[in-house]
Structure 1
């Protein structure tokens, strides 16, 4: 979630650096970019990957152009700030080095996306993912070192409302068309960097749901190879983060870095445990490599948390344990449900039992006729129940007369309630039935147009909710579609 929020905010920051007049609309631009990326991902992971190839190639080429042009340009005049910075480095010493190390590690975030999305690769998945990781590492190293060299060469310092990359680009290429090309490609690429989470989080959520650590809703896979519930949750949560931070990247990055480093440390420690337990050939050096990586990322996590604690880092410190506790609670809940469902045990063979179908009715019309016809094919006995008020004796008597005139060969039970309730009288009637299996068939009108739903009284929804919460009856909601006269069937 933080990766999506940071990526979108960073992309918009690059846009406002090129066009300062857009700065007041930062939040709306962030939400618009988030909506666009979400729409592309809802078309499917494979479709979104193909759509992002061209912007990625343009961005990499543009950054390489900036690096080459910046290195070729003549050396700028030495500024006085360099001497002061060197003095500060000597004074602060280890603390500054640790903080620089931690902040520098933030540049490496994102490489885990390939590992998280291995199931999305074509076979052989592992080999393709390894090749992609190597290519990503090489490009990342070249661009990171090149930009860092230009920052040093051109004496770039943070400026409010302008990104560091925009300053580097202007120093290397000037204010011409190439500057705007780099900025636009940066906008697109940083916004699309959020795609790593859109590809990874639904897969991760599905695995967690399969282990009963998240609601099973996240394990549902919709059309086009995309997990829509995971994507919807990710979009809503990221939008909330952007709104809370007002689209300010500087407020989101510390939270993002802490979460990433904690994840890195846990995953590396998990790999050490894996190597020690499996002990394949060469497991010692692999365990040592992962252990050293876990140590480095642990140091980075501690340093970033300590230095950014008052600036919002405390939120991650509080949120991570709460997320773990919530997952444990979900897991225990599924465990209790599994015990009641006798999962893992072979149940006794099913046997038919006497059943009754109860149909709530309030008028003699086509809807009632269709509901009773369906009920007669479901159970051994059908009973129509009419709930009315003692003060409406004339209306109740008229309904009985209409029923007897119609004569549908179905028993009618009229229940009176002094409090004008719909659910309680029906519940009391159902509790007195002798049959083991009780079906309740609720007839409803399905309007032809969506706007016509506001015209309905929601009687069926009220009854269905009460029956599911307070009884063991099988609730069926039969909808009769009402079409215009021109299109209605004869």
Structure 2
């Protein structure tokens, strides 16, 4: 049943030779790797207005110069990550760049921040998509969390089916969203030029506003920069592109940057000109759509495509997280299971873990996007700053031909990214303080995992491990619960090993049972020694392990090996297992921690 359900949800397994067919062309890559950045248009402009409204609606005209500042940062990031794509064509993005140029510690900070950021990508995108749905249908507002969790499960399943299949499905809503917003911007600007928008809806640019300050403007700029999250995803996912991968990735990055710049600028301009003010349960895009089109088909079309891309923008995390995890796992800083490809040739362990952690985050924050966005943004601007700084050092050290313009581009990106990061900590500390906990915690975890892998490698290496001690003989201990076919089968197996000593161990809870069992055993197996261990406290594990330890100590003096053979019957149907005590599994789990004791399970399969 499990295999049938798995095949239905995920599809048939693919051969390793079919990996080349799972590569992305530019159109599909733009859909799944740019959806995060493009979807941030739906909440990035809103974050600027939320800061400016603390002064007054008259301050909304400042959103225009702030938007220009965000575009300058976007251009610097696009040009910089384009350089990273060609400098590091095997992917890895900020982690690889920072590790190679700044050192291991900054590299792990970048890698750890991005891992958490991709989890936040899924949580923020799906939560924002749920907000868009409930903006259109307010009666669903109380079901935000349930809607978000459902979509995370859906996208996780979709990604387990493979990269190309998920990209084929996701391309349509992404391009529909781009079309919907361009229509919204075009009609909105047309109405402005036709004089259909009253000028009193907005404050003229340059109007003095009391209470405005440089600090507040920098805070609004930092908040608006949340629209740039996801820009780095393409540089992490270069291996997913068809050949020539770097060229295709670079072209996709430029296309994404162009679309993001046009959409972000258009929404900020419309929000300013139409005098849109942020509301708690209604998104800015929803307000603009309603003012321009009213509550008709176009309104619901824009809201529907916005909700879809916000939800499916989570796919950027599913595309980049597994590949970043592979790089960290190859360097032994996270479990090696992240390097294993699944049935559909995707890194399914990374996909599943990302989905589970995202659901936990949504539940913890109750799907409230506004609490997740600052944490999400600062988590990505730390790697932005480190990667740009790393590229600066790379150009200074190598000084290739034409390095100075590249150095200036990276310097601009590093400086602005650093300012944005500092502003997040200064202005939204109560929301981003978890960064100061999870980054040291992740670094500690990275080094603990690496230490474990190094210790395992050192102990398994033939040249460094302790010399093996010759085994002179074998003592076999067989725990028995009665005189049954499964015990008989296990004893026959023990005898076939030509062991010098076979000891059956019985643990009775009552003295009467002890005497009765010993009498039966003498008649049934007179040639096998029986040891009974009376247990007045009804514990099997304690007396059994104490006896095994005693035998092991004596056996080690003569270089004898102790082997414990555990009889276990296997029911015909899986659900029958819940009807039995599973004592053999508890004994096995307990004894596996014992040194110099070999554990063998002898299964006896029942027929009915």
Alignment TM-score, normalising by the size of structure 2: 0.72
Give a deviation string over 1:110-137, Cα, whole Å, max 9, x none. 1211122222233332222222212211
Quote the Cα distance in structure 1 between the aligned partners of 2:351 and 2:498. Answer: 42
Within a 5 Å distance, the mapping from 1:140-289 to structure 2 comes to: 140-289=260-409
Q: Does the CA contact (< 8 Å) of 1:271 and 1:287 recur in 2?
A: yes
Displacement after TM superposition at 1:280 (Å): 4.1
Task: Give, in whole Å, the separation in 1 of the partners of 2:241 and 2:471.
Answer: 49
Q: Distance in 1 between matches of 2:596 and 2:506?
A: 20
| Number of aligned residue pairs | 481
Q: Structure 1 pair 214/184, CA: closer, same or farther in 2 (3 Å)?
A: same
1:118 to 238, 251, 257: 238
2:219 aligned residue: 99
> How far apart are residue 322 of structure 1 and its match?
2.2
Question: 1: CA distance between counterparts of 2:293 and 2:150?
Answer: 29
Q: CA deviation at 1:179?
A: 1.2
Out of 141, 149, 160, the position equivalent to 1:42 is 160
Cα offset, 1:278, TM superposition: 4.8
Asked if the contact 2:507/2:544 (under 8 Å) is kept, the reply is no
* Residue 32 of structure 1, aligned match among 144, 150, 173: 150
CA distance in 2 between partners of 1:465 and 1:276 (Å): 57
- Residue from 135, 140, 144 that aligns with 1:22: 140
C-alpha distance in 1 between matches for 2:462 and 2:338: 21
1:163 CA drift (Å) = 0.5
Deviations 1:121-163 (A, max 9, x none): 3333222222221221122122112222222221211022110
Distance 1:483 1:161 in 2: 61
Query: Which one of the candidate residues 318, 321, 327 is aligned to 2:446?
Result: 327
Distance 1:252-1:355 versus aligned 2 partners, 3 A rule = same
Task: Give the CA deviation at 1:277.
Answer: 4.6
Which residue of 188, 208, 215 maps to 1:87? 208
1:348 deviates by: 6.5
Structure 1 gaps, min length 5: 485-490
8 A contact 1:360–1:442 mirrored in 2 = yes
Q: SS state of the match for residue 212, structure 1?
A: coil
Structure 1 residues 235-270: Cα deviation after superposition (integer angstroms, max 9, x where no partner):
222222212222111111111111111121122223
Shift of 1:16: 0.8
RMSD: 2.8
CA distance in 2, matches of 1:318, 1:151: 37
**In 1: Cα distance, 2:251 partner to 2:496 partner:** 61
Moved more, 458-467 or 182-191: 458-467
Q: Does structure 1 conserve the Cα–Cα contact (< 8 Å) formed by 2:202 and 2:274?
A: no
Residues 1:352 and 1:62: Cα distance change in structure 2 (over 3 Å): farther
Give 2:567's aligned residue.
Answer: 443
Q: Deviations over 1:342-392 (max 9, x none)?
A: 487588799776444432221222222333344445564562432324x63
Partner of 1:468: 592
Paired residue secondary structure (1:213): coil
Listed as ranges, the matches of 1:330-341 within 5 Å are 330-341=449-460
Are 1:386 and 2:505 an aligned pair?
yes
Question: How many Å separate the matches in 1 of 2:463 and 2:537?
Answer: 47
Given candidates 422, 425, 443, the residue that maps to 1:305 is: 425
Q: 1:100 to 1:397 in 2, by over 3 A?
A: same
Tell me the secondary structure at the aligned position of residue 243 of structure 2: coil
Corresponding residue number in structure 2 for 1:52? 170
Q: For each residue in 1:297-319, what CA deviation from the matched residue of structure 2 results, as whole angstroms up to 9, or x when unmatched?
A: 11111112211112x22122322
Which SS does the other structure have where 1:129 is aligned?
A: helix
1:366 aligns with 2:485: yes
Change (3 A) 1:327 1:401: same
Mark the runs of 5 or more structure 2 residues left unpaired by the alignment. 1-118
CA gap 1:425/1:215 in 2 versus in 1, 3 angstroms: same
The match for 1:6 is 124
Residues 163-203 of structure 1 show CA distances to partners (whole Å, capped at 9, x for unaligned) of: 01111222333321121111111111111111111222122
TM-score where L is the length of structure 1: 0.89
1:162 partner SS? coil
2:253 maps to 1:133: yes
